Amino acid sequence: MSLPGTLLETLVGLIKNAFNRDSLSQLVRFKLGADMYKEWVPAGNTFNTDVFNLVTTLEREGLLATFLHHLCTARLDLQAQLEEVRSALDKTSSTANDNATVITDNVAGVAQQMALPPVRAIILQSRDVLTRLTSRISLLCSYKALHDQLHQAKMSFRGLDNSAKQMASDPMAVSDFGQSVMAMETITNKMESAL
Q: Decide if pLDDT at 77 tops 70.
A: yes
Measure the CA angle with vertex 161, ends 33 and 78; round to 5°: 35
Average pLDDT over residues 178-190: 74
Q: Decide if pLDDT at 104 tops 80.
A: no
Residue pair 181/167 in contact (Cβ under 8 Å)? The answer is no
CA nearest to 71, candidates 57, 81, 60, 61:
81
Range from 54-58, 67-71, 83-87 carrying the lowest mean pLDDT: 83-87
Gap between the Cα atoms of 98 and 19, Å rounded: 36
CA nearest to 147, candidates 190, 95, 104, 177:
190
pLDDT in tens, 140-149: 888 887 777 7
| Higher-confidence position of 189 and 24 | 24
The backbone region for 33, taken as left when phi is positive above 0, alpha when psi lies in -120 to 50, beta otherwise, is: left
Average pLDDT over residues 47-72: 87
Q: Determine the longest span between alpha carbons in the chain, in angstroms.
A: 71
Q: Decide if pLDDT at 164 tops 80.
A: no
Number of Cβ within 10 Å of residue 116's Cβ equals: 10
Q: Decide if pLDDT at 17 tops 80.
A: yes
**Per-residue model confidence (pLDDT) at position 91:** 67
Q: Decide if pLDDT at 159 tops 70.
A: no
* Residue 172 CA, distance from chain mean position: 23
pLDDT in tens, 32-57: 888 888 888 888 889 999 999 999 88
Instruction: Report the percentage of the chain scoring pLDDT > 70.
Output: 85
**Per-residue model confidence (pLDDT) at position 50:** 92
Q: Which residues of 52-84 are buried (b: 16+ CB within 10 A; e: fewer)?
A: bbbbbbbbebebbebbbebbbebbeebeeebee
Average pLDDT over residues 92-108: 64
Summary mean pLDDT of the chain: 79
